[in-house]
């Protein structure tokens, strides 16, 4: 049982690593082929990775794919998207089918080590939560003893669920599916009392249900889910580009640089901001990263600063209306913090 849960938490099959050895140098590969192959959510997770009716990809994770393409090519459209399920995402990265994974994926020690990936930037600090039908009258997860709980395999969710119920000495019946669509259908059909996944996912899934107002997300957060992009380990140049694409968005917010004031800010006398925007003649930050001098400007032009991307995709400007919470800047009581770009 324990073993099953562990492999589920790791996300299924671990491939041989021979395949990845020849793949060092993703930045050069990406430049040569002319686009970034980005692994994103395969279940239209609104706010994070979803396709609109015209086929355009949007979301906080999608913005990271676009930011990387903007940094490398000065063109955020140079991305090809690979929609991935929980189970398929890790083999897709290991095998080289994708260059980066930006898909509500939790950074854990076992994924970082055993699966052979590198994580550093966290583009959404999350935690696992529970959703129930309002009519069952439950206000706290601690009232869920004996409940049937719908959960998706290949996620961190399954092991957290087992740990939480065990630690609180509560009984539960896991109703387990491989595909999110199956979990959604089972929950909608009343085959389980509770839906558990990342709280961000619950907000998004709730909106896709027939009557969103009939469901509530309970207050408890039972785990830490730092969600961020992953790349294959041992490829530091590419790892730096992907990580600093996120950090450039955060830095822009720290400096108050927005899509609207970007051109104005380029004329600033502030040396730190000037350097960041590639306006200081001697600075080699872009070149050192293997990128053009105006890489950060291109990112801001394409997707805005982190706060703009957050509000547009999951915050006030979106149907999800998620508060900044842990994802506020460190200077505003949150955890989003960028190392100095200098
Ligand atoms: N953050 C957790 C959960 C991520 C996850 O896969 N969540 C589900 C439910 S929101 C999902 O996105 N499913 C979409 C799919 O598999 O297509 C993890 O990394 O394991």
Q: Over the stretch 199-210, which tens digit does the pLDDT of each residue have?
A: 999 999 999 999
The one-character DSSP state at 37 is: E
Q: Candidates 49, 115, 155, 187: which one to mutate for ligand 1, based on the most atoms within 8 Å of Cβ?
A: 155
3-state secondary structure of 210: coil
Distance 257 CA to ligand 1 centre (A): 32
Confidence at 135, pLDDT banded by 50, 70, 90: very high
The contacts of residue 212 (CB under 8 Å, 6+ apart) are 206
Q: Dump pLDDT digits (tens) for 164-178.
A: 999 999 999 999 999
According to CATH, the topology of domain 128-223 is D-Maltodextrin-Binding Protein; domain 2 (3.40.190)
Atom nearest to 87 CA in ligand 1: 16
CATH class entry, domain 5-125+226-236: alpha beta
Distance 232 CA to ligand 1 centre (A): 19
Q: Candidates 41, 59, 195: which one to mutate for ligand 1, based on the most atoms within 8 Å of Cβ?
A: 41
- What pLDDT does 2 receive? 38
- Summarize the confidence of residues 317-328 as an average pLDDT: 97
- What pLDDT does 6 receive? 41
Give the relative orientation of helices 157-167 and 2-10 as an angle to the nearest 10 degrees: 140
Atom nearest to 227 CA in ligand 1: 1
Confidence at 16, pLDDT banded by 50, 70, 90: very low
Percent of the chain at pLDDT above 90? 93
The contacts of residue 328 (CB under 8 Å, 6+ apart) are 334, 335, 336
Distance 185 CA to ligand 1 centre (A): 16
Would you state the structure tokens that stand for residue 240, as one six-digit string? 């730096």
Q: Could you give the CA distance from residue 287 to residue 293 in angstroms, rounded to a whole number?
A: 6
Distance 336 CA to ligand 1 centre (A): 22
pLDDT at 158 > cutoff 50: yes
- Quick one: which of 322, 241, 287 has its CA closest to 26? 241
Distance 86 CA to ligand 1 centre (A): 5
Would you state the structure tokens that stand for residue 186, as one six-digit string? 């089972």
pLDDT at 15 > cutoff 70: no
- Quick one: which of 134, 184, 152, 133 has its CA closest to 9? 152
- What pLDDT does 17 receive? 43
CA nearest ligand 1 atom 13, residue: 180
Distance 46 CA to ligand 1 centre (A): 12
pTM exceeds 0.75: yes
Quick check: 138 and 144 in contact, CB under 8 A? yes
Q: What is the residue whose two structure tokens read 């694409």? A: 245
- Quick one: which of 219, 242, 52, 205 has its CA closest to 130? 219
Distance 285 CA to ligand 1 centre (A): 35
CA nearest ligand 1 atom 17, residue: 85
Quick check: 148 and 130 in contact, CB under 8 A? no
Domain with CATH 3.40.190.10 in the chain: 5-125+226-236, 128-223
Residues in contact with ligand 1 (CB, 6 Å cut-off): 41-43, 45, 85-86, 104-106, 152, 155-157, 180, 197-198, 201, 225, 227
pLDDT at 32 > cutoff 90: yes
């Amino acid at each position: 049982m324990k073993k099953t849960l562990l492999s589920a938490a790791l996300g299924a099959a671990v491939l041989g690593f021979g395949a990845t050895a020849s793949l060092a140098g993703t930045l050069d590969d990406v430049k040569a082929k002319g686009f970034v192959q980005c692994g994103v959510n395969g279940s239209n997770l609104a706010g994070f990775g979803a396709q609109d009716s015209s086929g355009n990809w949007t979301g906080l994770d999608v913005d990271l794919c676009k930011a990387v393409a903007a940094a490398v090519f000065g063109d955020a459209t140079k991305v090809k998207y690979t929609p991935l399920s929980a189970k398929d995402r890790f083999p897709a990265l290991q095998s080289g089918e994708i260059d980066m994974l930006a898909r509500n994926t939790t950074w854990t020690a076992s994924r970082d080590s055993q699966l052979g990936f590198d994580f550093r930037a966290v583009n959404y600090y999350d935690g696992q939560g529970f959703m129930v039908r309002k009519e069952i009258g439950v206000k706290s997860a601690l009232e869920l003893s004996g409940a049937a709980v719908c959960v998706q395999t290949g996620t961190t969710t399954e092991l957290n669920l087992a740990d939480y119920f065990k630690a609180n000495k509560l009984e539960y019946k896991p109703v387990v599916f491989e595909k999110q669509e199956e979990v959604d259908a089972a929950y909608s059909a009343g085959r389980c009392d509770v839906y558990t996944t990342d709280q961000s996912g619950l907000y998004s899934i709730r909106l896709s249900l027939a009557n969103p107002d009939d469901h509530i997300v309970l207050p408890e957060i039972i785990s830490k889910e730092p969600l961020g992009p992953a790349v294959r380990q041992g490829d530091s140049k590419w790892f730096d580009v992907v990580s600093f694409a996120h950090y450039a968005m955060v830095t822009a917010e720290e400096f108050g640089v927005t899509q609207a004031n970007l051109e104005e800010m380029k004329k600033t006398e502030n040396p730190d901001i000037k350097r960041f925007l590639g306006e200081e003649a001697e600075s080699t930050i872009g070149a050192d990263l293997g990128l053009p001098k105006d890489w950060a400007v291109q990112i801001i032009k394409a997707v805005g600063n982190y706060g703009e991307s957050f509000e547009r995709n999951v915050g006030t400007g979106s149907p999800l209306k998620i508060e900044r919470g842990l994802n506020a800047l460190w200077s505003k009581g949150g955890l989003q913090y960028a190392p100095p770009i200098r």
